[in-house]
Amino acid sequence: MNFKIRAKGHKNVISKHKSTFEITKDKDLSLSGDCIIGLDIDKSMDDFPEEFKKKLANDNTKVIVELVTPNASDKIEGFGHNDLSLSHPTDIVCRKSTFVCSRTLMIKSNKGAIDLNRDLINDLANGESMDVNIKLI
């Protein structure tokens, strides 16, 4: 099961957060948003099909997020969780921890923002767009 989101880069993408990374519908970014890697996303959790949400809200679901810019890509793996509400209208967060809230897409992520491919982050800081491909297994 797959879902694709398109995000835009921003000059203030620094990707330094150690335990999370985030994409958001927000169009602007301050330097304090060190987990945010993609802005002005074209879809949110509200757009996830119900079948997709149901599969994601399961402890046994493996989640693979592939990030693709014109010059780089990265693959992040984590897990769904029974308590995911998948209800935030603007933000999507991947977490290394097991913390769950309305913004959480996956937990036990193998990467936070600081771990992401630096060529990908440089593309985003230069304003390139990014495909966010979410695959559920």
Does this model's pTM top 0.85? My answer is: yes
Distances (CA, A) of 26 to 9, 98, 127: 11, 25, 15
Residue matched to tokens 């203030």: 12
pLDDT of residue 17: 98
Mean pLDDT of the chain: 98
For 44-96, the pLDDT digits (tens) are 999 999 999 999 999 999 999 999 999 999 999 999 999 999 999 999 999 99
pLDDT of residue 45: 98
- Backbone phi, then psi, for 30, in 5-degree steps? -90, 165
Query: pLDDT category, 125, cuts 50, 70, 90?
Result: very high
Query: pLDDT category, 100, cuts 50, 70, 90?
Result: very high
* Domain spans in the chain, listed from the N-terminal domain onward: 2-136
Long-range contacts of 33-37 (CB under 8 A, 24+ apart): 34/113, 35/93, 35/112, 35/113, 36/113, 37/7, 37/13, 37/67, 37/113, 37/116, 37/121, 37/124, 37/130
What is the topology classification, in CATH, of domain 2-136?
Jelly Rolls (2.60.120)
Query: pLDDT category, 4, cuts 50, 70, 90?
Result: very high
Neighbours of 108 (CB within 10 A): 16
pLDDT of residue 58: 98
Spatial distance between the Cα atoms of 119 and 102, rounded to a whole number of angstroms: 30
Q: Are strands 72-79 and 2-8 parallel, antiparallel or unpaired?
A: unpaired
